[in-house]
């Protein structure tokens, strides 16, 4: 059952935690041209330009001013800022700048994200800026075998190369090959428990991206484990205590946590053991959708939803579009059904956790490259993923929570661009949906109607497509049961799937 927190609660509720009540307002900062950002290491200017960054977004300026300069990283930073507002660079840039003066290579910054796709996306940002200041970035996401990952992360023992080295010197050598590691919790835990030489002992920065999602799931207790391992033995983890490194002192572990829907739940946030936290919030409200996002609702009967979707996609004329359904089964059923409509003027594909990782990756790449126009999937695609030029999001099934709406809709209208989110609703869902949008501080949602005759012309094909769909699902179920798969059979699916 959903908690009040997941449902979103009233958008203006006063947070329980005192430090959340008077945040720094990100909206009070203006964008800042790259050349004018105070104290920016000049070596970083070129790579930023290569990334197409001419001016920093307000969240990046706000985070920079709170982390660089006098009192740098004295407080843990919590950022609540809309989807697509540029949160990745808001933490990547200060971390790279702070580590740019490091003398010895060892793991100093750890960024944890919920999925591999997201982690790889974030690694790309670090890869673009870190090497110019001599920093090396690694990933622990399970994209390659654990052995390959280990060899990319850990230096081979010096003893093997130089047997004459004395014991003490060997022990002093940090073994990690990377300064910054971007990880998913599962693979991170694998390395913590199994990889020799993998150490968090020298960690200075811990970033928990998509914090609310990361805190909702325990992922083998990764967070308490990381926090425990980053406490130095002589430290009783009080704020401001310095962490030692072979006689040289380094600042305490600084944390940055962020989301477009940051939790306000004290019991969840307490897991992070934040020290003297500072909240950077966009505006006065708890949630915000991107300024240039247009929301539309389409009211239609369940049985006409697939046809209405086709008509809407025809209207969008092959523009890139993400379609969200409520379950993997629903996505599969919908995409299989669309296959039985001939000559659709758009290319579409399913994107589902039931597919192999390699298939999913190829599909996402094809979508990014524009070889596929429409991707049909679930909330797995909703968090953090950035696709250039994506202007349309369609909620084929109404999102269950306001947070879900924010993350799904937030795949478009990113980085100051405009975009539209269409939501299909049944009549009885309209009231709940309007209420949900109010929580997202989005009170203007126009009704979008589709030409009835366009829907009607598709009806004859629909009947035969539906028949073929049932046959296809039956045959899939038979194949699966022959293979001994315990998946629910097609007739069971029919009851649970909503087309």
Ligand X SMILES: Nc1ncnc2c1ncn2[C@@H]1O[C@H](COP(=O)(O)OP(=O)(O)OP(=O)(O)O)[C@@H](O)[C@H]1O
| Residues in contact with ligand X by the rule CB under 6 A | 52-53, 55-57, 60, 83-89, 260, 384, 386, 410, 414-415
Q: Contact 118/210 with Cβ under 8 angstroms?
A: yes
As a whole number of angstroms, the distance between CA 414 and CA 293 comes to 9
As a whole number of angstroms, the distance between CA 8 and CA 68 comes to 33
Least distance to ligand X from the beta carbon of 23, Å? 17
As a whole number of angstroms, the distance between CA 252 and CA 242 comes to 5
Least distance to ligand X from the beta carbon of 45, Å? 13
As a whole number of angstroms, the distance between CA 262 and CA 38 comes to 28
As a whole number of angstroms, the distance between CA 9 and CA 21 comes to 16
Polymer length in residues for the chain: 499
By beta-carbon proximity to ligand X, the closer residue of 88 and 330 is: 88
Give the list of residues 6+ apart from residue 133 with CB closer than 8 angstroms, or none.
41, 43, 44, 96, 97, 99, 100
Least distance to ligand X from the beta carbon of 260, Å? 4
By beta-carbon proximity to ligand X, the closer residue of 124 and 155 is: 124
Least distance to ligand X from the beta carbon of 406, Å? 9
By beta-carbon proximity to ligand X, the closer residue of 8 and 84 is: 84
Q: Contact 369/363 with Cβ under 8 angstroms?
A: no
Least distance to ligand X from the beta carbon of 324, Å? 14
3-state secondary structure of 352: coil
Torsion of CA 12, 14, 18, 19, to 10 degrees: -10
By beta-carbon proximity to ligand X, the closer residue of 106 and 394 is: 394
Least distance to ligand X from the beta carbon of 84, Å? 5
Characterize the bridge pairing of strands 243-245 and 248-250: antiparallel
As a whole number of angstroms, the distance between CA 96 and CA 93 comes to 5
As a whole number of angstroms, the distance between CA 358 and CA 143 comes to 10
By beta-carbon proximity to ligand X, the closer residue of 122 and 437 is: 122
Sign of CA dihedral 339, 343, 345, 347: positive
Least distance to ligand X from the beta carbon of 83, Å? 4
- Residue 419, CB-side half-sphere exposure with 13 Å CA sphere: 28
What kind and span of H or E run contains 398? Answer: none
Least distance to ligand X from the beta carbon of 225, Å? 25
Least distance to ligand X from the beta carbon of 450, Å? 29
Sign of CA dihedral 300, 303, 304, 309: positive
Q: Contact 90/79 with Cβ under 8 angstroms?
A: yes
The DSSP code for 253 is P
As a whole number of angstroms, the distance between CA 128 and CA 124 comes to 6
Torsion of CA 145, 483, 377, 353, to 10 degrees: -30
Q: Contact 385/327 with Cβ under 8 angstroms?
A: no
As a whole number of angstroms, the distance between CA 255 and CA 77 comes to 6
Least distance to ligand X from the beta carbon of 115, Å? 11
By beta-carbon proximity to ligand X, the closer residue of 56 and 405 is: 56
By beta-carbon proximity to ligand X, the closer residue of 305 and 403 is: 403
By beta-carbon proximity to ligand X, the closer residue of 86 and 419 is: 86
Least distance to ligand X from the beta carbon of 291, Å? 13
């Amino acid at each position: 059952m959903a908690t009040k927190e997941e449902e979103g609660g009233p958008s203006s509720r006063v947070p329980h935690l005192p430090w959340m009540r008077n945040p720094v307002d990100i909206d009070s900062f203006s964008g800042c041209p790259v050349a004018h950002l105070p104290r920016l290491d000049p070596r970083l200017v070129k790579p930023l330009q290569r990334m197409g960054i001419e001016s920093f977004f307000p969240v990046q300026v706000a985070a920079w001013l709170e982390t660089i300069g006098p009192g740098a990283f004295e407080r843990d930073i919590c950022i609540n800022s809309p989807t697509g507002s540029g949160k990745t660079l808001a933490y990547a840039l200060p971390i790279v700048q702070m580590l740019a003066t490091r003398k010895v290579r060892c793991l100093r910054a750890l960024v944890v994200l919920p999925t591999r796709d997201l982690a790889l996306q974030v690694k790309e940002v670090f890869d673009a800026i870190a090497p110019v200041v001599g920093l090396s970035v690694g990933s622990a996401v399970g994209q390659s075998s654990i052995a390959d990952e280990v060899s990319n992360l850990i230096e081979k023992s010096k003893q093997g190369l130089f047997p004459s080295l004395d014991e003490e010197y060997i022990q002093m050598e940090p073994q990690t090959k990377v300064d910054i590691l971007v990880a998913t919790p599962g693979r991170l835990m694998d390395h913590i428990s199994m990889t020799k030489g993998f150490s968090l002992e020298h960690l200075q920065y811990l970033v928990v991206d998509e914090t609310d999602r990361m805190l909702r799931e325990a992922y083998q207790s990764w967070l308490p484990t990381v926090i425990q391992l980053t406490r130095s033995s002589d430290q009783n983890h009080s704020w401001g205590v310095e962490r030692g490194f072979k006689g040289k002192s380094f600042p305490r572990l600084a944390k940055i946590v962020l989301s477009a829907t940051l939790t306000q739940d004290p019991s969840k946030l307490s897991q992070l053991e934040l020290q003297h936290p500072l909240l950077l919030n966009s505006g006065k409200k708890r949630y915000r959708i991107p300024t240039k996002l247009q929301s539309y609702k389409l009211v239609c009967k369940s049985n006409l939803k697939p046809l209405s979707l086709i008509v809407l996609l025809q209207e969008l004329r092959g523009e890139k579009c993400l379609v969200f359904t409520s379950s993997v089964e629903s996505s599969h059923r919908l995409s299989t059904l669309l296959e039985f409509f001939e000559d659709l003027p758009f290319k579409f594909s399913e994107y589902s956790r039931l597919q192999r990782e390699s298939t999913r990756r190829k599909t996402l790449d094809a979508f990014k490259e524009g070889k596929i126009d429409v991707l049909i999937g679930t909330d797995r695609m909703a968090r953090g993923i950035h696709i250039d030029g994506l202007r349309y999001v369609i909620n084929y099934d109404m999102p269950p929570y306001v947070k879900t709406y924010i993350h799904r809709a937030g795949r478009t209208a990113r980085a100051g661009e405009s975009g539209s989110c269409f939501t299909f609703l049944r009549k009885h869902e309209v009231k709940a949906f309007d209420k949900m949008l109010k929580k997202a501080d989005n009170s203007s949602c126009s009704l979008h109607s589709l030409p009835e005759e366009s829907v009607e012309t598709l009806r004859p094909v629909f009947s035969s497509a539906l028949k073929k769909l049932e046959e296809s699902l039956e045959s899939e179920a038979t194949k699966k049961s022959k293979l001994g798969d315990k998946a629910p059979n097609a007739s069971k699916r029919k009851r649970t799937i909503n087309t």
